[in-house]
Structure 1
Amino acid sequence: MRIEERTRSRWVDQPAHVSRRPDLRLGARSLLDRWGGVATDRLTATHTVRTSTAEYTLVLNAPEWLGRRGVGEALRDAVAELRAIDLTYGPGRPQSLVSRLRRGEISAESYAPLADLVNRCAAMRAATDGWFDAWAVPGGFDPGGLLGGWAVERAATRLREAGVHDYAVVTGADLVVRGHAPHGGPWRVAVHHPDGDRAPLVLEMTAGAVGTSGVSGRRDHVVDPHTSEPARQMTAATVVGPDLAVADAYATALYAAGPAGLSWFADGSNYRPLFAHRHRSPGRPSSTRH
């Protein structure tokens, strides 16, 4: 799978209230934080859309020359892409391409985007030693573990094609960012742990994605593909990298595999785990941070 650019980010190991405040919070009740001023030559817009399977928030920091009409058109294009993916590929829709593929009515090669989706799932199954397996579900193929990230990346492409190169697109506790936030600096992202006594991990990013599993506090949402039972040895996993579909699939697999999954992130990889929290046990640390 070709990666066009490496993630550009750094993390600040301190509570979010120290120094500069974050722009976005993952896993917290409030997603957006107040920005410390907006550049005078920029237009900002925030829009939230809900499909049948997910909620997406788009934050645009657009150049003034694009105009309000251009910003509105960019938002409409991106939202249309998210809705179209929900309608066309949603596993829960009986007439979606994924459902038709599961019933054997079409092949993956019938539609280029469907083939891309299937190939991505196959690549992630190989990359995670089978811990991410879109075929190890009742009824057959289900790309849900990376479909949301795939949708976000395609919506982000629409934004860039419309002339917006500074943006954030968030779904749940996952996001893609590019360029700069409205205050003119890198996007500051706080990743909150479901345990309220832990300080959030604060990232400063100008390009890349954050994929999480368990950070929002959900339980039994990841199934061990080898046993078909809920994966319960981890409480949270977070992976950063260039592409959200890949990062999200890695986070899901790491949540299922536990610490053994850290071996997937070899030196030179475009993806890295930020932390992997295990359930606490006597005499054993509860988290691993890289």
Structure 2
Amino acid sequence: MRIDEQPRTRWPDPATFRHRRPDLRLGSPAHRVDRARAVTPDRIAVQHHVRTTTAEYTLLLNAPTWLGRRGVGEALRDAVAELRAIDLTYGPTRPDSLVSRLRRGEISPESYAPLADLVDRCAAMRAATDGWFDAWAVPGGFDPGGLLGGWAVERAAARLRANGVHDYAVVCGADLVVRGHAAHGGPWRIAVHHPIEHDRPPLVLEMTAGAIGTSGVSGRQGHVVDPHTGQPADQLLAATVVGPDLTVADAYATALYAAGPAGLAWFKGNSDYRALSAQRR
């Protein structure tokens, strides 16, 4: 994976890790954002938490001073509004959401452009994973939940860029997308902890563009089923996928968790995505 466009990874020496602490941590013992280090003088650093009915998000913005506090606030409000709108409009558990109306046959995907994009992405990932990600293999007929969170984060990130913020991290549970640089001026440093072996040194990624999607113990425990049998997936403890787009990485992680080790074949060759970890039970 090319540095500066996709993650650089390594298992750090513990002493080095202590002196170069991460900006973000994923997985056990907890998902958290570390307190920001020194901010470069020509930047405005903002950290904001938002909760919807289905998820919690953390947005970290490292904006240029020329944008001003008002401009940064507008970018943040726009991104948060997008996250809330997606929760209200596409949540599969909401009876009046577009997804629920689609299930009932009241509308077609083409009725709303974002809904058509969501359905198309689900279909593309069903093909890419040999049917292991299948939004239609659930009770009710269609549930995009396996990638809806990543899709929401990517759409919020697009709102940030449209408002002039090109250095940011958006985190949702064990999923995240980053771009540009952190407030200290260097790449975003992300520590990915093992979900069970808490004493094991974390895997550290330095990223200036990319996404991490997780499914399993540190993601959506109990929500992944084998689409071919309808039974809960039980081969892996957790699956983590890294790549350019969180919508795709999220879907791949869900599918890998369901398929188990057989799913590692999807990441061979020239794929822009790779399995960062696939922890067996």
Shift of 1:37: 1.3
Range 176-185 or range 12-21, more displaced:
12-21
Q: Deviations over 1:228-274 (max 9, x none)?
A: 11111101111111110100100011011111001011221111111
Q: Tell me if the contact between 1:253 and 1:261 (Cα under 8 Å) persists in the aligned partners.
A: yes
Q: Which residue of 1 aligns with 2:269?
A: 267
Q: Which residue of 1 aligns with 2:236?
A: 234
Q: Which residue of 2 aligns with 1:284?
A: none
Q: 1:8 corresponds to which letter in structure 2?
A: Q
Question: Which of 266, 277, 280 does residue 279 from structure 2 map onto?
Answer: 277
Q: Tell me if the contact between 2:174 and 2:219 (Cα under 8 Å) persists in the aligned partners.
A: no
Q: Structure 1 pair 215/166, CA: closer, same or farther in 2 (3 Å)?
A: farther
Runs of at least 5 residues in structure 1 that lack an aligned partner in the other structure: 1-5, 280-290
Alignment of 1:1-290 (within 5 A): 7-14=5-12, 17-27=17-27, 28-195=29-196, 196-216=198-218, 219-279=221-281
Partner Cα distance (1:20, 1:55) in 2: 27
Size of the aligned set, in residue pairs, is: 274
Q: Tell me if the contact between 2:215 and 2:221 (Cα under 8 Å) persists in the aligned partners.
A: no
Q: Tell me if the contact between 2:31 and 2:173 (Cα under 8 Å) persists in the aligned partners.
A: no
Secondary structure, in 3 states, of the residue corresponding to 2:80?
helix
Q: Structure 1 pair 178/51, CA: closer, same or farther in 2 (3 Å)?
A: same
Shift of 1:217: 6.7
Partner Cα distance (1:217, 1:93) in 2: 21
Runs of at least 5 residues in structure 2 that lack an aligned partner in the other structure: none
Q: TM-score, length-normalised on structure 1?
A: 0.91
Secondary structure, in 3 states, of the residue corresponding to 1:252?
helix
Secondary structure, in 3 states, of the residue corresponding to 1:8?
coil
Secondary structure, in 3 states, of the residue corresponding to 2:233?
coil
Q: Deviations over 1:125-167 (max 9, x none)?
A: 0100111010011111000000010000000000001000000
Runs in 1 of length 4+ with deviation above 2 angstroms? 14-19, 217-221
Range 263-272 or range 10-19, more displaced:
10-19
Partner Cα distance (2:98, 2:221) in 1: 29
Q: TM-score, length-normalised on structure 2?
A: 0.94
Q: Deviations over 1:83-107 (max 9, x none)?
A: 1111111111111110000000001
Shift of 1:201: 1.1
Q: Tell me if the contact between 2:173 and 2:219 (Cα under 8 Å) persists in the aligned partners.
A: no
Partner Cα distance (1:185, 1:152) in 2: 22
Q: Tell me if the contact between 2:62 and 2:183 (Cα under 8 Å) persists in the aligned partners.
A: yes
Q: Tell me if the contact between 1:15 and 1:201 (Cα under 8 Å) persists in the aligned partners.
A: no
Q: Structure 1 pair 227/7, CA: closer, same or farther in 2 (3 Å)?
A: farther
Q: Structure 1 pair 217/194, CA: closer, same or farther in 2 (3 Å)?
A: farther
Q: Tell me if the contact between 1:10 and 1:203 (Cα under 8 Å) persists in the aligned partners.
A: yes
Shift of 1:216: 1.6
Q: Tell me if the contact between 1:47 and 1:59 (Cα under 8 Å) persists in the aligned partners.
A: yes
Q: 1:273 corresponds to which letter in structure 2?
A: A
Q: 1:253 corresponds to which letter in structure 2?
A: A
